[in-house]
Amino acid sequence: MPFRDRGVAGQRLAAALVGYRGRDVVVLALPRGGVPVAAEVAAALDAPLDLVLVRKIGAPFHEELAMGAVADAAGQPCTVRNEDVIAMLGVDDASFDAVRAGQLQEIERRREAYLGDRPRAELAGRVAIVVDDGVATGATTRAALRAVRRRGPAKLVLAVPVAPTDTLAELRAEADEVVCLEAYPAFGSIGFYYADFRQLADDEVTGILARFPPDDRMAASAGR
C-alpha cells in the first residue's frame, strides 16, 4: 500500500515536482480529496493554491459508473462524455443532460461553500499544476484539464500519486506533462492505495484553503 494518507502522498508528490519551485506556478486541486494532496505541493513550491471545480456525471441507476464529467471553466462548463458507457447503457441526451444539470448545481454549491468571494488565480502565462489524490476512469481529470487549458496557462501539468497505466497514457494527450508516482495495469479503486482514505468535509477544504491566502496575481474577478 503506497500511501498512509493524502498528506503523505502530497509530500511525495511535492518532492517529484521540486524542479518547479521558483517558477511562476499555480497549484489547482480537485476537491475534495485532491485538496490535502495539493496543499503539500503548494507549500513545498511556495505557490498559490486554487481549485478546479469538477464533478463526475454518473449513469442513471449506476451512479458510480461515469458516463462523463463536467468542470467549471471561468463560468463556461466543460463537459466530457464517455461515449462507450453512454452507448452501453442506452442513455439518451435528455437523461445525460439532466444528470449534468444536477452536477452543475453541485459545482455552484461548492463554489459558494469553498470559495465564496475569494478571487480565482490568474492562470494565463503561468505553469498550472492540476493535482488530485488519484485517477480512476479519467473522466473528471480530463474535464478538469480541459477547463484549465481554456484559461491559457503557459504549461499544463497533471500531478497525481496513483493511476491506472492505460488511463494515464490517455491523459498524456491532455497535459503538457504528467507526473504520477505509482501506476498499475490492474487498478481497482483509488482508495485501495491509501491506508486512510476517509471522505473530507467541506469545512476541512475551506480550512486548508485559508492557509493559502490569495496572492497579488489573483484574478480581479471571481472567475464566474
Q: 12, exposed or middle or buried, with CB in 10 Å at 0-12, 13-18, 19+?
A: middle
| Residue 48, domain member (yes or no) | yes
| Residue 222, domain member (yes or no) | no
| Residue 67, domain member (yes or no) | yes
Q: What is the pLDDT of residue 216?
A: 61
Show the cell assigned to 96: 445525460
Q: Which residues pair with 156 in a beta bridge?
A: 128
Cell numbers 471561468 label which residue?
A: 74
Domain with 200, as residue range(s), is: 6-210
| Residue 1, domain member (yes or no) | no
CATH number of 162's domain: 3.40.50.2020
What is this structure's pTM? 0.92
Give, as one character, the DSSP assignment of residue 208.
H
| Residue 221, domain member (yes or no) | no
How many structural domains is the chain composed of? 1
Q: Which residues of 157-186 are buried (b: 16+ CB within 10 A; e: fewer)?
A: bbbbbbbbeebbeebeebbeebbbbebeee
Q: What is the pLDDT of residue 214?
A: 83
Q: In degrees rounded to 5, what are phi and psi of residue 86?
A: -60, -45
| Residue 216, domain member (yes or no) | no
Q: Per-residue confidence of the chain (224 residues) as pLDDT tens digits? A: 689 999 999 999 999 999 999 999 999 999 999 999 999 999 999 999 999 999 999 998 888 788 999 998 766 799 999 999 999 999 999 999 999 999 999 999 999 999 998 998 999 999 999 999 999 889 999 999 999 999 999 999 999 999 999 999 999 999 999 999 999 999 989 999 999 999 999 999 999 999 998 866 654 433 43
CA–CA separation, 45 and 52 (whole Å): 19
Cis peptide before 23 (omega within 30 of 0): no
Q: What is the pLDDT of residue 54?
A: 95
| Residue 19, domain member (yes or no) | yes
| Residue 144, domain member (yes or no) | yes
Q: What is the pLDDT of residue 61?
A: 85
